[in-house]
Amino acid sequence: MTDTAVDLASLLASRLCHDLLSPVGAMSNGLELLAEEKDPEMRKRCMELLEQSARTSANKLKFFRLAFGAAGGFGDNVPVDEPRALVDALVGDGGRITVNWSLGAPALPKAAVKVLLNLAHIGIDALVRGGTLDIGAELRGGASEIVIRAAGPKIAFDPAVGQALDGSLPPADLSSRTAPAWMLHELAARLGGGLQFALSEDALVMGAVLPEG
């Protein structure tokens, strides 16, 4: 394994830990409050917060298992219902982000699912004030085609993430924030495909073409 591969694995692990720190920390705080609280209504509220934090942690673990991991338990292709459920759970039912799906195949190759999930996560991160996340994927001419559009009143997109997506970010400048995008670039290049993105004031559009095999 090369030094760059080791660094990438370490940074992806750091990103996972960072994203899980908040809900796990909330569970720890909730348990401390529950141990001290005597009022029945407050104890009920603590239990609700614990359930919410546990659900958020579980949803994030399931998401990152498929987005970063080896997708064990699946064959060469993953049913599209799986990534759809993971993204919908990650967004939650708060109403801040509306997800629209257009999936033209019942299943996608593992690599395409990994790209779809990570691009969707970048889109979610960009919608700091909420908005709409449109996700489309299909198989055409022996390749998986994926498009993600995040639209809202304010788009937050780190230029370094864009550089990681197009491969212009030096490996030495990788961080836990840019590591997922760099992983996607490397994966697409290995398959003979490519990634692209376009940023405007109110929308971020990302796409991928990934030849099968």
Dump pLDDT digits (tens) for 70-121: 665 677 899 999 999 999 999 986 679 999 999 999 999 999 999 999 999 9
The percent of residues above 70 in pLDDT, for the chain, comes to 95
pLDDT at 183: 93
43 confidence band (pLDDT: 50, 70, 90): confident
For the chain, what is the mean pLDDT?
88
CATH value at residue 197: 3.30.565.10
pLDDT at 1: 44
The 8-class DSSP code of residue 69 comes to S
Using CA atoms, how far apart are residues 136 and 206, in angstroms rounded to an integer? 11
Domain residues for the domain of 64 are: 3-211
pTM of the model: 0.87
Total count of domains within the chain: 1
Dump pLDDT digits (tens) for 172-197: 899 999 999 999 999 999 999 999 99
